[in-house]
Structure 1
Amino acid sequence: MKQIFLALVFSAATTTAALAGQYCTLDESVMFACTFNDGKKAVEVCDTTYWAEGDNAAYAFFKTTGEVEKEIITDKASLIATPWNGVGNTIWETVTFYSDDYGYEVWWSIDRNSDAVPVGGINVLQNGATLAELTCDAGSVQQNLGTLVEAVEAAQVSP
């Protein structure tokens, strides 16, 4: 039942996306995308297995004119993925990419109310402390983080 509901949530989330596929090479590789600052900046998280060698994922924060401000490409086993625990009225997931002492936690959530619109953002961390919390523009969240969370979990248990 949870999987059916999440599939419906994903379908609803992808129909409201304002942006996807500007950074990720193939649209089906987009695991998360949204815009910030009225569409001036964006973030995309990709499963690079679709377009590159290795079992990796990519994070890119960029100006929508194309200039990448932060890019992290790393193996999925090094990511921290937190799946929704199935409790409460809000469904949510996070995936955190690391670069030196900094973490970039990409998150999304949605109220189980059928009229709810998904929200999301990025929490920028340094040594575990939150430096910044960026919230996506309303209606711009496209997500499939559940698929990435499963891939991260599989990569962490694979030899």
Structure 2
Amino acid sequence: MKHIYLPIAMIFGAGALQAGQFCELDGTEMFTCTLKDGTRGVEVCNAVWADGSKAAYGFFKSNGTVEKEIMQDMATITASPWNGMGNFMSDSVTFDGGGGYAYEVWWGTERAAGATEMGGINVLKDGALIADIPCDAGTVTSDLSSLIELIEATQ
């Protein structure tokens, strides 16, 4: 799998996280945000460069060093689309990290003009929440609903 790390950091300045530090720079990013005051980032991609229908999860440092990478068949990803009810819309996808760990990437926003998008990662161990890592305010870019459609089409 091809990744582009350092050139992006050099273009935008050291320590500045940008979309595309984990995913291919070809529009495959389905979710991105920075975490922990910009020291970390997460991206979820439609891994069109891999064989078969796969999605990828990448958790990385601001210098582009990948701390956690998961490539998973879409047919095995747990997807939770917005149910269409209420004023809060949310989507999530959960990647199997092995060893009982799972990483749920979520997005949400109120159904109102100008509402702020939120997101984050829930880290689970044997189904129990062990960490909730919120995205930094204003950094969420999400198209998880399109990824969920692709996941559902493979299941």
The whole-number CA distance in structure 1 between the counterparts of 2:35 and 2:18 is 11
Q: Which secondary structure does the structure 2 equivalent of 1:66 belong to?
A: coil
In the aligned structure 1, how far is the partner of 2:131 from the partner of 2:141?
21
Q: Secondary structure at the match of 1:151?
A: helix
Identity across matched positions, percent: 51
Contact 1:94 1:145 in 2 (8 A): yes
**Structure with the higher helix share, 1 or 2:** 1
TM-score (norm 1): 0.84
- What amino acid is the match of 2:73? D
Contact preservation (8 Å) 1:19, 1:140: no
Greater relative contact order (CA < 8 Å, ≥ 6 in sequence) = 1
Q: What is the match of residue 86 of structure 1?
A: 84
Question: Aligned residue for 1:28?
Answer: 27
Runs (4 or more) in structure 1 with deviation over 6 Å come to: none
- Where does the alignment leave 5 or more consecutive residues of structure 1 unmatched? 1-17
Alignment deviations for residues 17-64 of structure 1 (CA, whole Å, 9 cap, x no partner): x73111101241000000012211000000011x23221000000002
TM-score by length of 2: 0.86
Correspondence 1:117 to 2:107: no
Q: Given the superposition, is the C-alpha separation of residues 27 and 135 from structure 1 closer, same or farther in structure 2, using an over 3 Å criterion?
A: farther
- The letter of the residue matching 1:81 is A
The answer (yes or no) to whether the contact 1:59–1:72 under 8 Å persists in 2 is: yes
Aligned: 1:96 with 2:90? no
Deviations 1:70-124 (A, max 9, x none): 0000100110000000000011000000022111000000001112110000000
CA contact (8 A) 1:20 1:27 kept: no
Q: Counterpart of 2:51 in 1: which secondary structure?
A: coil
Q: How many residues align?
A: 138
Aligned position for 1:52:
50
